[in-house]
Chains A and B, each alone.
Chain A
């Protein structure tokens, strides 16, 4: 599993074998990863998987029990937060209630000792970047959630950090606003050229914004890669299930030969490329499964007899729950092809088919 940056840019943050416990809770377990300059990096995982803990250690809140953190080549593991060239946007935004919008954004510049004229010019610019310049004199309590989020963002970028940490930046926004803001964040990140590290539990959000994603579970990093890597080549059952939907099937492994394996599902044999992996599951994405009328067969595909258990209309797709001899599958039919395609009713006998190449090998 590659921990080196694949974007070809120099590394900015290196996290080396970092662990952190709270009493008996192992919040972060032996995490290593590298974030490159100008990269949009996401930590993705379910609630309680250690994302916030890891991010806080990068900001300087809470020391690792083991391992070290390098920032631009310098060991900052024991450097206090106010001396790190890193800023954080807190999950609840943490705006100062006794200060107005302008004073909130100016806070960090004042601590830095930036002279007054430059300070207000930079605050104005930051507020303009987030389209909040007309709110400078407002009290923060009177702002909406989206506006608070923008002020918090302006306050974090005004110091021009090398790395911006965002803890669930969009979690408090409603869906429409969230999707708009995702695009804006991505755009802002590219135009500022600052590396962003975003914590999120929402895989769509991570896929949409990030250059690379680290999938976390129970304090560990399961896989690091581009959104396409994670979707098309997950290394484990957990990643396959967490990124998109996947039918994870334990096949009968019959033989290994020259980096390929002969496997069988429901007694139907086929060959797949496995490299040196000997023990694995296979994962098939629902949209890679073809739904056929009974007795139809597709040459070169794995074809199984099935019956429809449930049909769910999901807008863009219709999802079928189908049962074969020993497994339950989910298949997705694009509704765009509905008029021409085959759309079975629950209880109907059908066939499903997938290409052996579409069966992802999941070693872990």
Chain B
């Protein structure tokens, strides 16, 4: 088989920007923190070469990983992140599915415009948009102010500095990542199938549920992964919108790295997160393989 050089470009890209940083993180995770600059004692020195590395690998320091399991803070942060990311993903899904459906069924010449509108907020800095949400959600913010002046509430609703604010922030920030794969799937569907279902005695809702929805599962899973994975490690949203007591793994990593200057611990956490995130991807691949052989 002849490999054309063009194909090498993505491989080079991945090697440079994924494999190299990953190697550095792995090396860090097995090192010990120290009063030094940089603040760790490396487990492997670059100069030692393969034979020494292999020898060292047999008696590796797993101290960071042991500490991670002993200290409940890390596990709690992970669980709480997973919960928030899951809620955020669910909210995204609730908004994105009808949105993608409506765009896919809009007249052809209007679809591009509608899709652009979904993506347009991304032309502004992410930070600025999250600050805008602070202005909307805080107790004296726009939403509470409006509700109060319409006489709908007496005391401001607790929209800011809590889990709800984080979930809203995640839903807002990751909406396009769900809308786009769903739209791509829905757009290819043959709408006469829904008509055929209705002709065979299904109401509109049943026709959607039994015919359209099952055909969009692929796009749905891709969308869920694209939202859940980055949301799990999210740092800015909990930092700016969540209260000081919110525990998210991204925030914990940040404080390990910059607060405690415990680089090896931060790297070990990052590796744990990476391994956990690989699980749904592997499951997805297995499902795909089953579908193809069925």
Q: How far is the CA of A97 from the CA of B210 in the complex (A)?
A: 12
Chain B residues with CB below 8 A from A94, complex form: 190, 192-193, 195-196
User: Counting CB contacts under 8 A, is A26 at the interface?
Assistant: no
Q: How far is the CA of A296 from the CA of B195 in the complex (A)?
A: 64
Q: Are B190 and A111 in contact (CB-based, < 8 A)?
A: no
Q: Are A61 and B214 in contact (CB-based, < 8 A)?
A: no
Q: Are A98 and B215 in contact (CB-based, < 8 A)?
A: yes
Q: Which of B71-79, B201-209, B221-229, B239-247 has 4 or more CB atoms under 8 Å from chain A?
A: B201-209
Q: Are B196 and A96 in contact (CB-based, < 8 A)?
A: yes
Chain B residues with CB below 8 A from A98, complex form: 211, 214-215
- Give B173-210 as 1s and 0s: 1 = Cβ < 8 Å from A's Cβ atoms: 00000000000000000101101111111110010001
With known contacts A90-B192, A94-B192, A111-B206, A81–B199 Cβ distance under 8 A: yes
How far is the CB of B191 from the nearest CB of chain A, in Å?
10
A:78-112 near B, CB below 8 Å: 80-82, 86-88, 90, 92, 94, 96-98, 107-108, 111-112
- Give A159-192 as 1s and 0s: 1 = Cβ < 8 Å from B's Cβ atoms: 1000000000000000000000000000000000
Q: Considering only CB atoms, which chain B residue lies closest to A94 in the complex? A: B196
Q: Are B201 and A111 in contact (CB-based, < 8 A)?
A: yes
Contact check: which of B199, B203, B210 meets A59 at CB < 8 Å? B199
Chain A residues with CB below 8 A from B202, complex form: 82, 107, 111
How far is the CB of A188 from the nearest CB of chain B, in Å?
19
Q: Considering only CB atoms, which chain B residue lies closest to A84 in the complex? A: B199
How far is the CB of B209 from the nearest CB of chain A, in Å?
11
Q: Are B214 and A87 in contact (CB-based, < 8 A)?
A: no
Chain A residues with CB below 8 A from B210, complex form: 107
Contact check: which of A59, A90, A108 meets B201 at CB < 8 Å? A108
Supply 5 A–B pairs (Cβ within 8 Å), ascending by A.
Answer: A60-B198, A61-B198, A87-B200, A96-B193, A107-B200
User: Counting CB contacts under 8 A, is A323 at the interface?
Assistant: no
- List residues of chain A with CB under 8 Å of any chain B CB: 59-61, 80-82, 86-88, 90, 92, 94, 96-98, 107-108, 111-112, 139, 155, 159
Q: How far is the CA of A304 from the CA of B170 in the complex (A)?
A: 89
Interface SS of chain A? mixed
Chain A residues with CB below 8 A from B215, complex form: 97-98
With known contacts A98-B215, A111-B206, A159–B195 Cβ distance under 8 A: no
Q: How far is the CA of A90 from the CA of B215 in the complex (A)?
A: 19
Chain B residues with CB below 8 A from A87, complex form: 199-200
State the interface size on chain B (CB cutoff 8 A): 18
Other A-B pairs, 20, CB within 8 Å; known A90-B196, A90-B199, A112-B201 = A60-B198, A60-B199, A61-B198, A82-B200, A82-B203, A86-B199, A87-B200, A88-B196, A88-B199, A94-B190, A94-B195, A94-B196, A96-B197, A96-B211, A97-B193, A97-B215, A98-B215, A107-B200, A111-B200, A159-B201
Q: How far is the CA of A302 from the CA of B200 in the complex (A)?
A: 58
Chain B residues with CB below 8 A from A96, complex form: 193, 196-197, 211
Enumerate the 4 nearest inter-chain pairs by beta-carbon distance, A residue then B residue, closest first. Answer: A108-B200, A111-B201, A94-B196, A94-B192
Chain B residues with CB below 8 A from A111, complex form: 197, 200-202, 206
Q: Are B201 and A92 in contact (CB-based, < 8 A)?
A: no
Contact check: which of B190, B199, B294 meets A92 at CB < 8 Å? B190
Q: Considering only CB atoms, which chain A residue lies closest to B201 in the complex? A: A111
Q: How far is the CA of A306 from the CA of B18 in the complex (A)?
A: 87
How far is the CB of B251 from the nearest CB of chain A, in Å?
42
How far is the CB of A187 from the nearest CB of chain B, in Å?
24
With known contacts A82-B203, A98-B214, A98-B215, A107–B197 Cβ distance under 8 A: yes
Q: Considering only CB atoms, which chain A residue lies closest to B196 in the complex? A: A94
Chain A residues with CB below 8 A from B196, complex form: 88, 90, 94, 96
Q: How far is the CA of A97 from the CA of B211 in the complex (A)?
A: 9
Chain B residues with CB below 8 A from A155, complex form: 200
Q: Considering only CB atoms, which chain B residue lies closest to A86 in the complex? A: B199
How far is the CB of A69 from the nearest CB of chain B, in Å?
15
Q: How far is the CA of A343 from the CA of B38 in the complex (A)?
A: 106
